[in-house]
Amino acid sequence: MTSHSTRFAMATGTAIATLMTLAGSANAFSFTTNFTGNNAKEDIWLNSVTIGDQVISNFAVVNSANIIYNAPYTGGNTGAASADRGDNASGINVEDPTNGHVVQALGNLNLNNILDGEDNGKFIIDVTFNGLVDNLLFWERGQNSRLGVQALDAFGNLVGNFLLLDSKTWDYAGFKIDTTEIGGAQNVGSLGVSLADLGVSGPIQSIRLTSETSYNGPDFKVVGTAATAAAVPEPTTVLGLGLVAGLGFVSRRRRDRA
């Protein structure tokens, strides 16, 4: 006879598996950025995006961050990720950011607030959105670098596919920005990443962002499109739902035996 613990492990394993396989369905997409303000040195606010024939204005932004590694800043063109803003934009510019500074840079809809990566800097940063998301929207200043992205489950474990995004291939987003760490305006590129690209089958809330020394310093903003209530009956990941189902199964078995 299969034990309760074995059945629970099987239920949990099934939930994990549902998060893991859609690797062959990658479908990174283009979108149109609808924004207010077009002065490269000032605030540029995201109003909505158009994906196909759908206009989306319900976003989730970063509300927590965990810097796992960020190359130390020792002056000049050193370090890795820093918080940056347009020369005359609201926001912060901090060379050696804390977790809170990362949230300040990414946790808003000001497209002239970014994380700026130094040319040869390495970072690993986990970020969590203030709600479940079903697409990731990226903008990159300069269109000349790469950025690693992978989904995290509810326990902070890496799941699905590791994606290496190359902004050289992205579409022009329709605006330029000139931030405190550069001397002139640069084009901003945009790219959308779907759940299928990430290799997961349900909405997520956290991702890992990475840059290696060979990635040429990604300078980026990321926002999520908020998952619809119809698609997400409870504020949890597919893994979390699987765990709840597993606990319910064990509870029912105990009642049946009683």
Summarize pLDDT for 166-195 with one digit per residue, the tens.
999 999 999 999 999 999 999 999 999 999
Q: What is the DSSP string of 27-62?
A: --B--EEEEE---TTS--EEEEEEETTEEE--EE-E
Rounded-to-integer distance, Cα 133 and Cα 129, Å: 8
d(CA 166, CA 211) in angstroms, rounded, equals 11
d(CA 159, CA 93): 32
**Residue 87: phi, psi to the nearest 5?**
-50, -40
Element (H, E) at 101: helix 99-106
Instruction: Give the chain's length.
Output: 258
Q: What is the DSSP letter of 142?
A: S
Give CA–CA dist 13/184, Å, rounded: 51
User: Residue 145 burial (CB < 10 Å; 0-12/13-18/19+)?
Assistant: buried
Return the DSSP state at 176.
Answer: E
Residue 87, pLDDT > 50, answer yes
Q: How far is CA 183 from the centre of its chain?
A: 28
**Is residue 8 over pLDDT 50?**
no
b/e per residue 165-194 (b: at least 16 CB within 10 A): bbbeebeebebbbbbbbeeebbbbbbbbbb
* Distances, alpha carbon 48 to alpha carbons 44, 56, 90, in Å: 12, 5, 20
Count Cβ atoms below 10 Å from residue 54 Cβ, excluding itself.
10
| Beta partners for residue 188, in sequence order | 141
Secondary element (H or E) of residue 36: strand 32-36
Q: Is the pLDDT of residue 59 over 60?
A: yes
pLDDT exceeds cutoff 60 at 258: no
**Residue 165 pLDDT greater than 60, yes or no:** yes
Predicted TM-score of the model (pTM)? 0.81
Percent of the chain residues topping a pLDDT of 70: 78
CA angle 238–231–221, rounded 5-degree value? 80
